[in-house]
């Protein structure tokens, strides 16, 4: 099997809509996920209005082979989800944090609400404002028994401000991590350059951009993208079923482009493994699929 050219994705990222919840469409999508045998489903609940759809999805997938993780966006939603969803269906419940203070508050709340009843972790999106807190977040999670810490894929749109950790930023984070024991912390890192900070002697586990290959993304408006960080519309689930979008010629053409490293990477010894880094980040900043990840520069 060529893992760079999969017919069906292994992972589905799905941000549930609080503004346009559509329980009927959600259940239809779930049936397709079962049919195409998605192994991992990552749901994001951005508002309490999406809780109903979240519950419906967990109920539909309960007892199946799809492992489901749910990420909630704030304290109020975390409290609501902890009280309502069927946590026996969950592989992992994550709470989003944007600062060390958020991490502290979320861990406190989860403890009061009974985090021990389901696997609980922290999702910490790195930005220009908070990257310097990464070592403290790692340390605090490790010291407080948090098993999972996720640095998630950015949700990007063309023309929107895009952050990538610069070489100087990476060096600062690396210095802060010196001496910390985070061996018992299960880290999920999607940024290849951030990965090298934590695991300098290991090859990046993804083996190049996985957009439209091992992963697919469903936006809150039920648009299908290759990846949360690559704002290229492959189809609309109000108009086309998920299976047809995945098998579409448009998706295949896009994947063939991503399998080739950008020309500017030709002289790089890592280009065959890296394939140009995060191509979604490059696309969001430049509008081109044939340029390399700006973080590499």
- Tell me the pLDDT of the chain averaged across its residues: 87
Residue 259: is it exposed, middle or buried by C-beta count within 10 angstroms (0-12/13-18/19+)? middle
Percent of the chain's residues with pLDDT above 90: 51
The predicted pLDDT at position 85 comes to: 56
Lowest mean pLDDT among 102-111, 147-156, 241-250: 102-111
Q: Which pLDDT band holds residue 53 (cuts at 50, 70, 90)?
A: confident
Q: Which pLDDT band holds residue 272 (cuts at 50, 70, 90)?
A: confident
Q: What is the mean pLDDT of residues 163-188?
A: 92
The predicted pLDDT at position 1 comes to: 43
The predicted pLDDT at position 109 comes to: 79
* pLDDT surpassing 50 at residue 105: yes
Residue ranges of the chain assigned to CATH 3.20.20 = 11-260
Domain 11-260 sits in CATH at 3.20.20
Residue 65: is it exposed, middle or buried by C-beta count within 10 angstroms (0-12/13-18/19+)? exposed
Q: What is the mean pLDDT of residues 237-244?
A: 96
The predicted pLDDT at position 89 comes to: 65
> How far is 200 from 215, CA to CA, in rounded Å?
25
- 220 or 52, which is more confident: 220
- Whether the predicted model's global pTM rises above the 0.85 cut: yes
Q: What is the mean pLDDT of residues 36-41?
A: 94
CA nearest neighbour of 227 among 210, 248, 244: 210
> How far is 9 from 258, CA to CA, in rounded Å?
15
- 27 or 52, which is more confident: 27
The predicted pLDDT at position 5 comes to: 77
Lowest mean pLDDT among 31-45, 170-184, 280-294: 280-294
Q: What is the mean pLDDT of residues 17-28?
A: 87
Per-residue pLDDT of 62-95, as tens digits, reads 888 899 999 988 766 776 666 655 556 678 889 9
Per-residue pLDDT of 176-234, as tens digits, reads 999 999 999 999 998 888 988 999 888 776 678 899 999 999 999 999 999 999 999 99
- What are 257-266's contacts with CB under 8 Å, separation 24+? 257/289, 257/290, 258/208, 258/209, 258/211, 258/212, 258/213, 258/226, 258/289, 259/4, 259/5, 261/292, 262/290, 262/291, 262/292, 263/290, 264/291, 264/292, 265/292
> How far is 283 from 262, CA to CA, in rounded Å?
12
The predicted pLDDT at position 270 comes to: 82
């Amino acid at each position: 099997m060529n893992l760079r050219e999969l017919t069906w994705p292994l992972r589905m990222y799905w941000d549930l809509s609080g503004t346009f919840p559509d329980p009927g469409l959600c259940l239809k999508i779930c049936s397709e996920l079962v049919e195409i045998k998605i192994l991992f489903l990552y749901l994001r609940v951005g508002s309490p209005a999406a809780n109903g759809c979240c519950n419906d999805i967990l109920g539909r997938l309960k007892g199946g082979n799809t492992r489901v993780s749910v990420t909630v966006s704030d304290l109020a939603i975390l409290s609501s989800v902890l009280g309502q969803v069927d946590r026996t269906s969950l592989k992992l419940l994550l709470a989003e944090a944007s600062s060390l203070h958020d991490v502290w508050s979320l861990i406190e709340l989860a403890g009061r609400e009974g985090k021990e009843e389901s696997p609980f972790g922290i999702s910490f999106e790195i930005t220009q404002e908070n990257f310097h807190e990464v070592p403290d977040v790692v340390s605090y999670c490790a010291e407080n028994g948090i098993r999972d810490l996720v640095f998630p894929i950015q949700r990007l749109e063309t023309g929107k401000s895009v952050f990538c950790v610069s070489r100087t930023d990476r060096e600062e984070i690396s210095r802060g991590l010196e001496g910390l024991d985070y061996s018992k912390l299960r880290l999920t890192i999607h940024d290849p350059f951030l990965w090298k900070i934590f695991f300098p002697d290991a090859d990046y586990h993804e083996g190049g951009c996985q957009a439209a290959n091992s992963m697919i993304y469903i936006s809150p408006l039920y648009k299908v993208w290759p990846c949360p960080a690559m704002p290229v519309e492959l189809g609309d689930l109000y108009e086309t079923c998920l299976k047809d979008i995945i098998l579409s010629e448009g998706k295949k053409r896009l994947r063939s482009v991503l399998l080739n490293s950008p020309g500017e990477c030709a002289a790089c010894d890592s280009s065959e493994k890296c394939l140009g880094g995060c191509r979604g980040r490059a696309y969001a900043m430049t509008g081109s699929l044939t340029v390399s990840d700006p973080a590499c520069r």
